Structure 1
Amino acid sequence: MPIVELHVLEGYNSLEKQRLSEVLTDAVRFVIPAAPELVTVMIHDVPTDNYYRGRIQRSPAPALPDPAQIVKDYLAAMEARKLETARAMLGDGFAMTFPGTAPMRTLEELIEWSKPRYKFVTKTYDGFDAMQGVGDAAIVYCRGMLQGEYHDGSTFEGIRFVDRFEITGGRITRQDVWNDMAEVRANA
């Protein structure tokens, strides 16, 4: 039964500590074959007046936002065509690549690219997987099915997709998309 003890400066709320305990549990289970209920995580809050580094009393850094929630909010804004809301979630150097495209840097490029392809598309999600990437970027994969309508009025559904996002500093900096839309359209 693995036990993880963690000392943090007080100031993180219960939701942030819950996220931290979930991530630590998953990290242990990545190496040790233990069921989640067998991994114990104990978080000890250290009062800031009891913590010094380099002779200076320190305060905790703010917790990073949940990267999976950032992606969920972004995708919801895109589907609702709340482009300003979605644009505000993008970071410097943002790039997105869809099947058969060069990297696009703006939401307007995506809209222009998709206009001749379909009237609209929506997504049903099977899951979101978030992890720390190399460096500062968090990685989020979402997967599920596409459905929508072509310009001729015919509809499509059940088309698999996977999106991969990189989130740096709380902003989306990269989106890569894979789906079976071309294969389904070719066989229709």
Structure 2
Amino acid sequence: MSDRTQADLAAVQDYLAASMAPDPVRAATFVAPGFVCRFTGGRVFDTPSGPTGFNAARYKWVKKRIERYDVVPDGDCTIVYSLGYLYGEWPDGTPFDGNRYIDRFTVLDGLILDTDVWNDSAEWLLDPSIAKG
């Protein structure tokens, strides 16, 4: 991995650590001007505080168990995928685990330009029996 792609991966790792704290102010230090987060359900946010606020309403608390990163050089940018599982508690205190997620980041010079976020939460809320497998 080149120094540039390693730095871009480190920016994503630091952003995710700050986001899970949750510390959206610190997470914002890893995003570029004009940052866009396309979140589950087609929601669009322009700061890391958008997803943090949404998650505060959806979950009592939530964390990511990151399984791996896939890093793909793409011209001047680096595409970074973070894959794993969400775990935490629903607002009523019911615990959950094994909720699949994928985050896709476009990174340039150590700053995140945009991210796309997908997970199984909506499906699990619609049909809790899915979560029980």
TM-score w.r.t. structure 2 length?
Answer: 0.86
Query: Which of 56, 74, 87 in structure 2 is aligned with 1:115?
Result: 56
> Could you tell me whether the CA contact under 8 Å between 1:138 and 1:166 is conserved in 2?
yes
1:25 is aligned to none
Query: Which of 96, 113, 125 in structure 2 is aligned with 1:173?
Result: 113
**Rounded Cα–Cα distance in structure 2 between residues aligned with 1:162 and 1:90:** 18
**Rounded Cα–Cα distance in structure 2 between residues aligned with 1:141 and 1:165:** 6
**Which deviations, in whole Å up to 9, do the C-alpha atoms of 1:132-188 show, x marking residues without a partner?**
12x422100010000011111111110111110000121011110111111122221
Query: Which residues of structure 2 form unaligned runs of 5+?
Result: 129-133
Deviation at 1:108, TM superposition (A): 2.3
Query: Which of 30, 42, 45 in structure 2 is aligned with 1:89?
Result: 30
Deviation at 1:104, TM superposition (A): 0.6
Count of aligned positions = 127
RMSD: 1.5
Bigger relative CO (Cα 8 Å, ≥ 6 apart):
2
**Rounded Cα–Cα distance in structure 2 between residues aligned with 1:92 and 1:99:** 22
**Rounded Cα–Cα distance in structure 2 between residues aligned with 1:132 and 1:99:** 25
2:94 matches 1:149: no
Higher strand share: 2
1:140 is aligned to 80
> Could you tell me whether the CA contact under 8 Å between 2:65 and 2:84 is conserved in 1?
yes
Larger Rg: 1
2:131 is aligned to none
Query: Which residues of structure 1 form unaligned runs of 5+?
Result: 1-18, 21-62
Secondary structure at the counterpart of residue 162 of structure 1: strand
4+ residue runs over 4 A deviation: none
**Rounded Cα–Cα distance in structure 1 between residues aligned with 2:23 and 2:50:** 15
Secondary structure at the counterpart of residue 115 of structure 1: helix
Identical amino acids, percent of aligned pairs = 35
> Could you tell me whether the CA contact under 8 Å between 2:22 and 2:52 is conserved in 1?
no
> Could you tell me whether the CA contact under 8 Å between 1:96 and 1:175 is conserved in 2?
yes
**Rounded Cα–Cα distance in structure 2 between residues aligned with 1:119 and 1:174:** 26
Higher helix share: 2
